Amino acid sequence: MRTLAKTLFLTLFTGISGLVWAQTTITGKVTDKKNPLPLVSIVLKDTYDGATSDSSGNYSFRTSEKGEYLLIATSVGYRPFEQKITLDGKGTLTIDIVLKEEVTELSAVVISAGTFEASDRKRAAAVLDPIDIVTTASANGDITGALKTLPGAQQVGETEGLFVRGGTAGETKIFIDGTLVNNFFQGSAPNIAGYGRFSPFLFKGTVFSTGGYSALYGQALSSALVLESIDLPERTSASLGLSVIGVNGGYQALSKNKKFSWGGAYSYMNLAPAFAIIKQKQDYARMPEIQNGDINFRIKTSAKGMIKYYAYFARNRFDFTVNSIDSPGYLDRFALKNFNMYHNLSWKESIGKMWKLNMGFSYTNNADDIRSGMKDGNKNDVLLNGLEFKKFDLDLDANYFNAKLVFERRLRGLSAIRFGGEYNYSDEKSLFTIYNGQKFPDRLRENVKSVFAESDIYITNALAAKIGTRFEQSSLPDKTNIAPRLSLAYKLSKRSQASLAYGIFYQNPERRYLPSPNELDFMKATHYIAQYMTVSSVRTFRAEIFYKKYDGLIKTGFAGGREGVAVNNNGFGDAKGFEFFWRDKKTIKNVDYWISYSFLDTKRDFLNFPGAITPNFAAKHTASFVVKKFVQTWKMQFNGAYNYASGRPYYDIRFDGTKYYFADRGMVQDYHNVSVAFNYLPSIGKQNSKNFAVYVLSISNALNIKQVYGYQYSYNGLRKEQIVPPSRVFVYIGAFFSFGIDRSQDAIDRLF
Amino acid sequence: MKKTIFILSAILIAGFSFGQMPEKFVKAMEPKMAAIDTTMTVQGLTDLANSFERIADAEKNQWLAYYYAAFCNASAGLMVASGGDMMASKADKTDPYADKAEKQLSKAEELMKDNSEVFVVKKMIATLRMIGDPMNRYMTYGPEAAQALETAKKLDANNPRVYLLEAQDKYYTPEQFGGNKDEAKVLFEKSKQLFETFKPATNIHPNWGRGTVTYFLSQYK
């Protein structure tokens, strides 16, 4: 009835106006050349007149305006169409409109070879959401733990870090807001992997490159992990966490105008309660205890400008003994006290419409006090003949400073050019005290200065290239290098694309081999990557093949009266393989899973290797299956992960006075790990909730499968022993609360 | 006395704002008012949103035109989002609507600050964002929606649309997430009651929602 009335009214109205004014009808069809485009808005500029195209792309409207006007057609994802028209108040004007697709992040091809992204940006390389980092069962809330379920990364459990495509953990560098992070991991003990220092909740974006990465980053032969910290919080809130391993609390305040926020958090971890129940291989005289605090502020300087500051302070200590492999009946003692301080200040700003600026500084101070020695069965210190070398103190005090400046100028469409510089400085002091009290102080200072330029060139929406070069000057070794990088991406269809990447990557010899009695040079890797990817909002398939060539790897040997020092850059190697990734959120209702598989064939001759061999950190086959199921009725998320790695080789390499040889070698058994986690989210889906609670129960290696990482040998080679995790199964129980703070109500009262 | 002053100032404000509206503008807006309550298709709502946007862009200083454009785009987006797997991400389809609505609403807000109706649409947009990708967004857009609705209520406790949105949330939210049809009914009735006395400042000021309340209340019989 109402519609009828409206029609009548309209007819009447337009009828009358038709009588009074002369009108022109404008009609036509909107297409993208091939297909009709519905829902396009057509406007006669500065008038009320216009129309919206219907499902077959047709539009039509009448106007009583006269004279010259601009006809504009707009639709999301297309470039606006404009045409001048002259209206003379009569007749029909037929104007067919062809809209051209706009080159946008959403529709354009993505240069994605070698890259995994976890962010809420809806684009091809973003195979993970930020929340995936936290909800991957085997990750235990650790960023690198989640990345290990992606192809390219190894399942190495005895040391921390990301071992990518046949590279060592040292070949992966980690960046926060553009600048290098030193000491990303907590101080570790022999055969126990250190945990990442930074909470995954600090980051809104993660880009994990397994090769062929941008010229903005350097000094990493294999991989770059680029983390982007969160912006202003949505609201003022407090958080509280309780778990079997510790407590933490934090507060974040957001100013009323939503342009400034500040906050801080404190966490205390003590593994005593957990280790009392879950038997460890190590016998702790002092249970691992970690205290850390952080403070931050963020200032929104303009619509796109932001200053962020984050500082982190941590103290970590433990002291344990394990049965000594060198002398049965005795114990090896290892104690660590660590202090770490990290500051990161960054500023991003848009300057005019065309320019962007990114600036970052980071400073780290890291101090380790390591005590090593032997004890007898009654835990009294002993010094055994021939094993004096096991008694030492090592005090390290290191300062690192990193700065980076990047300018970006927009070109047409999505094309852009970026250039800038980076400065990395390190100053490491060490004091080595041997059993008889003799002290060996040492200090190593070095720096690397880099400049770089790269350009994203979108030739069309479907074809893009990234061309870059990086120039580095290092003080130790005193050398320079030029590293070109090139990537291409071509969109094959709406959902699929192919990419290629090539690049040369240089890295300084690890600092523990510096300075060397001989002159050293950079180590070098050359990457070749080809990728095919097809992506929809619910499914992702990605296949990649790669070849990586290593040159100039460090070889160790006998020099300056000592064995084990870096002697030259004659090491070499290569790695080749293929990888698959499949993620599916749709096929099974409410179930989201991904499967990764990596095949790796790598050999290298470096350090003390007697020749080119597959290194002990490289498994031929690696696979992960990660599944997440959300049960709405129970508000429960079930997360499971199965990680597999085929057996890695192990070696006992010894020096006979002139050369290295294999005293023993073999293959470790396959690695299996099944982890499960249950997250209970009572506040999910509640529309008006300001408070959130998450309860977590997670079990690592839930099936209690024996895991062996490798073998270690006694100093004389007579005994060998498996390297296994400190405990087979680990159970984690925790609860996290976040309280939105609103001055008008007491949030805490509401929750309980 | 207080009441008299209130009514007087209401009339004054209404007169003032009416006085600012050119006749041509009011003439163009009037015939669209009925359509707001009756249009139920994405095509129809987009068409309506576009026509409001044309008026808004031609006038540039009429908050109501921007407001209705934002409202229609948000409604179209919510229509796109409905049906299918509730928890699945559909942000690629719904975000363009939210983007448009947000832009238009911010223009409306620039012209008309601290207005309950603007916050009602703000709430709709936050909800649209959230249901675009609930698993990843519920922690950010859930509270934002709640905050907007609370502000709308604070600015005008007698705005029937505030209770209508609150009631719809209660109605559609599954029970395990705090939904409750009985509680929703109470809110629908409250909204209905407020609609009975609600008088828009002019015949082109927000007055939508009556039909929706009647529809929902009819579902209880």
State pLDDT tens for residues B128-152: 998 888 877 877 788 889 889 999 9
Q: What is the mean pLDDT of residues A347-363?
A: 95
H or E segment to which residue B43 belongs:
helix B42-59
The pLDDT assigned to A1 comes to: 43
Cβ B176–A635 below 8 Å, yes or no?
yes
Residues of B whose CB is below 8 A from A235: 143, 147
Cβ A538–B88 below 8 Å, yes or no?
yes
Residue B187 domain-assigned? yes
Does B23 contact chain A (CB < 8 Å)? no
The pLDDT assigned to A11 comes to: 45
pLDDT averaged over every residue in chain A: 89
Angle at A296 between CA A136 and CA A429, to 5 degrees: 85
Q: What is the mean pLDDT of residues B158-184?
A: 87
- Does the pLDDT value for residue A425 go beyond 50? yes
Q: List CB contacts of B136: < 8 A, sequence separation 6 or more.
A: A120, A129, A130, A131, B89
Grouping H, G, I as helix, E, B as strand and the rest as coil, residue A266 is strand
Cβ B178–A687 below 8 Å, yes or no?
yes
Structure tokens at A250: 């934090």
Does A104 contact chain B (CB < 8 Å)? no
Does B193 contact chain A (CB < 8 Å)? no
For residue A485, the one-letter residue type is R
- Partner-chain residue, chosen from B34, B140, B146, that has the shortest CB–CB distance to A2: B34
Strands A246-254 and A179-180: unpaired
Interface of B with A in 33-92 (CB under 8 A): 34-35, 37-38, 42-43, 46-47, 50-51, 53-55, 57-58, 85-92
Residue whose C-alpha is closest to residue A387's, from A400, A401, A399, A376: A376
The pLDDT assigned to A638 comes to: 93
What residues pair up with B13 in beta bridges, in sequence order?
A: none
Task: Kindly indicate the confidence band of residue B52, based on its pLDDT and cuts at 50, 70 and 90.
Answer: very high
Please state the φ and ψ torsions of residue B7, each to the nearest 5 degrees. Answer: -65, -45
CA distances from A424 to A132, A141, A339, A361, A448 (A): 32, 29, 21, 10, 5
What residues pair up with B54 in beta bridges, in sequence order?
A: none
The pLDDT assigned to A257 comes to: 84
The answer, yes or no, to whether the previous bond of B134 is cis (omega within 30 of 0) is: no
Q: Which residue has the higher pLDDT, A195 or A548?
A: A548
CATH class for the region spanning A20-98 = mainly beta
Residues of A whose CB is below 8 A from B43: 38-39, 52, 54-55
Residue whose C-alpha is closest to residue A623's, from A654, A599, A604, A648: A599
Does A235 contact chain B (CB < 8 Å)? yes
The pLDDT assigned to A88 comes to: 86
Q: Rounded to whole angstroms, how far apart are CA atoms A553 and B188? A: 73
Q: Rounded to whole angstroms, how far apart are CA atoms A282 and A85? A: 83
Q: Rounded to whole angstroms, how far apart are CA atoms A524 and A572? A: 9
Residue A597 near residue A623 (C-beta atoms within 8 A): yes
Can you give the residue range of the structural domain that contains B195?
23-218
Between A and B, how many residue pairs show a Cβ–Cβ distance under 8 A?
A: 129
State pLDDT tens for residues B53-104: 999 999 989 999 999 999 999 999 999 888 777 777 788 889 999 999 999 9
Number of domains in chain B: 1
Q: Where in chain A is the domain with CATH 2.40.170.20?
A: 115-751
- Does the pLDDT value for residue A688 go beyond 80? no
Task: Kindly indicate the confidence band of residue A684, based on its pLDDT and cuts at 50, 70 and 90.
Answer: low
- Partner-chain residue, chosen from A77, A589, A686, that has the shortest CB–CB distance to B142: A686
Residue B75 near residue A55 (C-beta atoms within 8 A): no
Task: Kindly indicate the confidence band of residue A18, based on its pLDDT and cuts at 50, 70 and 90.
Answer: very low
Q: List CB contacts of A570: < 8 A, sequence separation 6 or more.
A: A553, A555
Residue whose C-alpha is closest to residue A611's, from A558, A662, A547: A662
State pLDDT tens for residues A689-735: 667 888 989 999 999 999 999 999 999 999 999 999 988 898 989 88
State pLDDT tens for residues A131-166: 788 788 888 878 999 999 999 999 998 999 999 999
Residue A123 near residue A105 (C-beta atoms within 8 A): yes
Please state the φ and ψ torsions of residue B118, each to the nearest 5 degrees. Answer: -60, -40
Q: Rounded to whole angstroms, how far apart are CA atoms A166 and A154? A: 8
B96: nearest CA partner in chain A: A76
Cβ A634–B96 below 8 Å, yes or no?
no
Residue B200 domain-assigned? yes
Q: Which of A14, A48, A121 to mutate to test the interface with B (most CBs of B within 10 A)?
A: A48
The pLDDT assigned to A69 comes to: 92
Does B203 contact chain A (CB < 8 Å)? no
H or E segment to which residue A558 belongs:
strand A539-559
In chain B, % of residues over pLDDT 90? 54
Cβ A684–B177 below 8 Å, yes or no?
yes
Q: What is the mean pLDDT of residues B186-213?
A: 92
Residue A166 near residue A573 (C-beta atoms within 8 A): yes
Q: Which residue has the higher pLDDT, A247 or A132?
A: A247
Task: Kindly indicate the confidence band of residue A101, based on its pLDDT and cuts at 50, 70 and 90.
Answer: confident
Q: What is the mean pLDDT of residues A293-308?
A: 94
Q: List CB contacts of A64: < 8 A, sequence separation 6 or more.
A: A17, A21, A22, A23, A24, A89
- Does the pLDDT value for residue A4 go beyond 80? no
- Partner-chain residue, chosen from A76, A130, A538, that has the shortest CB–CB distance to B96: A76
Structure tokens at A373: 């020695």
The pLDDT assigned to A139 comes to: 85
Residue whose C-alpha is closest to residue B141's, from B84, B102, B180: B102
CA distances from A573 to A36, A213, A484, B56, B179 (A): 55, 20, 20, 66, 61
Q: Which residue has the higher pLDDT, A521 or A103?
A: A521
Residue A175 near residue A213 (C-beta atoms within 8 A): no
Residue B96 domain-assigned? yes
Between A108-122, A234-248, A518-532, B119-133, the lowest mean confidence (pLDDT) is in: A108-122
Q: Rounded to whole angstroms, how far apart are CA atoms B47 and B32? A: 11
Residues of B whose CB is below 8 A from A55: 43
Residue B182 domain-assigned? yes
The pLDDT assigned to B6 comes to: 52
Residue B185 domain-assigned? yes
Structure tokens at A168: 């060592």
- Partner-chain residue, chosen from B34, B50, B138, that has the shortest CB–CB distance to A685: B138
Does B22 contact chain A (CB < 8 Å)? no
Cβ A687–B142 below 8 Å, yes or no?
yes
Angle at A516 between CA A511 and CA A517, to 5 degrees: 170
Grouping H, G, I as helix, E, B as strand and the rest as coil, residue B88 is coil
CA distances from B216 to A56, A91, A584, B33, B124 (A): 34, 47, 37, 21, 18
Cβ B89–A740 below 8 Å, yes or no?
no
Residues of A whose CB is below 8 A from B95: 122
B180: nearest CA partner in chain A: A686
Which H, E and C letters describe A496-538, residue by residue?
A: EEEEEEEEEEEECCCHHHCCCCCCCCCEEEEEEEEEEEEECCC
Residue A164 near residue A154 (C-beta atoms within 8 A): yes
Q: How far A131 CA lies from chain B's nearest CA (Å)?
A: 7
> Positive or negative, the Cα torsion across A494, A495, A498, A503?
positive
- Does the pLDDT value for residue A188 go beyond 90? no
Residue B118 domain-assigned? yes
Q: What is the CATH architecture assignment of A115-751?
A: Beta Barrel (2.40)
- Partner-chain residue, chosen from B50, B87, B145, that has the shortest CB–CB distance to A632: B87
- Does the pLDDT value for residue A566 go beyond 70? yes
Angle at A167 between CA A651 and CA A642, to 5 degrees: 85
Residue B4 domain-assigned? no
Interior/surface letters A604-615, b for 16+ CB within 10 angstroms, e for the rest = bbbbbbeeebbb
Q: What is the mean pLDDT of residues B33-50?
A: 90
Task: Kindly indicate the confidence band of residue A474, based on its pLDDT and cuts at 50, 70 and 90.
Answer: very high
Does A9 contact chain B (CB < 8 Å)? yes
Within 10 A of A725 (CB to CB), how many other CB atoms are there? 21
Cβ A688–B90 below 8 Å, yes or no?
no
- Does the pLDDT value for residue B5 go beyond 90? no
Q: Which of B177, B203, B207, B215 to mutate to test the interface with A (most CBs of A within 10 A)?
A: B177
pTM score: 0.81
Query: Which CATH number do you get for residue B88?
Result: 1.25.40
Q: Rounded to whole angstroms, how far apart are CA atoms B94 and B115? A: 26
Within 10 A of A12 (CB to CB), how many other CB atoms are there? 10
The pLDDT assigned to A120 comes to: 65
- Does the pLDDT value for residue A204 go beyond 50? yes
B154: nearest CA partner in chain A: A744
Residues of B whose CB is below 8 A from A738: 139
Within 10 A of A561 (CB to CB), how many other CB atoms are there? 7
Residue B16 domain-assigned? no
Cβ B90–A49 below 8 Å, yes or no?
no
State pLDDT tens for residues A324-334: 999 999 999 99
Cβ B31–A9 below 8 Å, yes or no?
yes
